[in-house]
């Protein structure tokens, strides 16, 4: 895997030029993506910016995010060949920082649940997760140092965990979604994938113009270990990884204790699909009305069911979410972060993109979530660190602390 910070250090020292760094990324894609299927298309050759804090950084852009120099097809033949006239806001910001949005990465159709053709770099028979399949796989395979994805349920955190990399789903709307194909306007969040947590912190701080995001962990942080029992049971291996991450946090000086979330959170968790699907029915109304037969099976059936949802059900679900958000804000007075599993377990086979049930509450809450890989044998496992809304710097700092401690032996 390629480190954004390592590349930038080499560029700043003069041992690597931005142009050479981008050429290296193009060569890696040509050499290694054939069997992986993470990259859909690359940007035309052209001058590489020599200045800017992200000069020389090649970025993968999930194919629901607009790029003026590459087609944006939303993972669907319905939009085959569509070329936006403008970059999405986050893509324009990356260019202003000197980065090169180099490749469009594979996504499931309209960021839904139907698998796309991308393989997991650790085992081609396994899914890389969805819907940000290509972005996660491209980082894990060492094709790119940074990639963009989106999360509506668990589509940043889960694929990062399956691919053994770091990722952040920031606080809701911290990164603008202007120019991003909507699935659910109350949930969709642009996120970042990278090799490690320090890379994420640097990239996010620059993208959102908040350098304070790149901060140090507080001394003796309080970390609440949460199993989300209302979401069902995680695999034994995932729970063992969570326990291992808890021990690593304690070695780093944290105070770790168990947290059982009260009933309002179970109701909010159950409300997530109603909010998501009621909005998806409207966001994808044109595709459903004019191209129903071209929609893939899982998404098509999901939108079929969504037609029966009522505004009263949607409003009730939103109230459940609001109550839980208010209670979570108060609960964060008692701890600095929540530590929980990133996924049910290891990556399943490619017939599915995996299960988002341990992610969707936190997407609905709008809080920052950072996934950290837990080293070990076999396919990757991850844990996620969750902080108060707007406290993305603390989420990243504590995730970085745990990431570093996990490199030490139990």
Instruction: From 128, 153, 154, 125, select the one nearest 140 (Cα to Cα).
Output: 128
Place of tokens 């954004």: 4
What is the rounded CA–CA span in Å between residue 366 and residue 190? 12
Burial class (CB in 10 A: 0-12, 13-18, 19+), 293: exposed
For 101, other C-beta atoms within 10 Å of its C-beta total 26
Strand partners, 192: 148, 168
Residue 207 contacts by C-beta under 8 Å, 6 or more apart in sequence? 90, 93, 94, 97, 175, 192
What's CA 306's distance to the chain center, in Å?
A: 25
Choose among 397, 393, 395: nearest CA to 362. Answer: 395
The position carrying tokens 């989106």 is 150
CB within 8 Å of 77: residues ≥ 6 apart: 294
The residues annotated as belonging to the active site are 62, 131, 155
Q: How far is CA 336 from CA 218, 247, 264, 406, 407, in A?
A: 9, 16, 20, 19, 22
């Amino acid at each position: 895997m390629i480190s954004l910070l390592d590349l930038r250090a080499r560029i700043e020292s003069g041992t690597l030029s931005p142009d050479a760094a981008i050429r290296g990324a193009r060569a890696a894609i040509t050499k290694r993506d054939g069997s992986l299927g993470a990259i859909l298309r690359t940007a035309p050759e052209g001058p590489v910016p020599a200045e800017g804090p992200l000069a020389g950084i090649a970025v993968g852009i999930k194919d629901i995010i607009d790029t003026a120099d590459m087609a944006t097809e939303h993972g669907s033949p319905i939009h085959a060949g569509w070329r936006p006239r403008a970059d999405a806001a986050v893509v324009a910001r990356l260019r202003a920082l000197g980065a090169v949005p180099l490749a469009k990465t594979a996504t499931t159709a309209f960021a839904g649940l139907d698998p796309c053709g991308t393989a997991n770099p650790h085992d081609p028979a396994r899914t890389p997760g969805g819907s940000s399949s290509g972005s996660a796989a491209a980082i894990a395979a060492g094709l790119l140092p940074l990639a963009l994805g989106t999360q509506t349920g668990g589509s940043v955190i889960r694929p990062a965990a399956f691919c053994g990399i770091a990722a952040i789903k920031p606080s809701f709307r911290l990164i603008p979604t202007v120019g991003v194909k909507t699935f659910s306007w109350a949930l969709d969040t642009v996120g970042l994938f990278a090799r490690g947590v320090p890379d994420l912190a640097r990239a996010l701080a620059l993208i959102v113009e908040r350098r304070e995001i790149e901060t140090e962990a507080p001394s003796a942080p309080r970390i609440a270990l949460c199993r989300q029992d209302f979401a069902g049971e995680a695999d034994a291996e995932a729970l063992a990884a969570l326990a291992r991450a808890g021990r690593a946090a304690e070695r780093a000086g944290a105070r770790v204790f168990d947290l059982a979330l009260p009933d309002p959170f179970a109701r909010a968790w159950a409300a997530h699909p109603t909010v998501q699907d009621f909005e998806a029915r409207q966001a994808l109304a044109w595709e459903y009305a004019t191209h129903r037969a071209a929609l893939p099976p899982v998404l098509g059936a999901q939108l079929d069911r969504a037609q029966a949802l009522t505004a009263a059900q949607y409003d009730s679900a939103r109230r459940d979410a609001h109550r839980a958000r208010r209670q979570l804000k108060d609960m964060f007075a008692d701890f600095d972060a929540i530590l929980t599993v990133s996924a049910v377990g290891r990556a399943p086979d490619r017939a599915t993109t995996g299960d988002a049930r341990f992610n969707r509450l936190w997407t609905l809450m709008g809080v920052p979530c950072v996934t950290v890989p837990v080293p070990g044998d076999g396919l990757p496992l991850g844990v996620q660190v969750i902080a108060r809304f707007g406290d993305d710097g603390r989420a990243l700092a504590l995730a970085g602390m745990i990431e570093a401690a996990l490199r030490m032996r139990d």
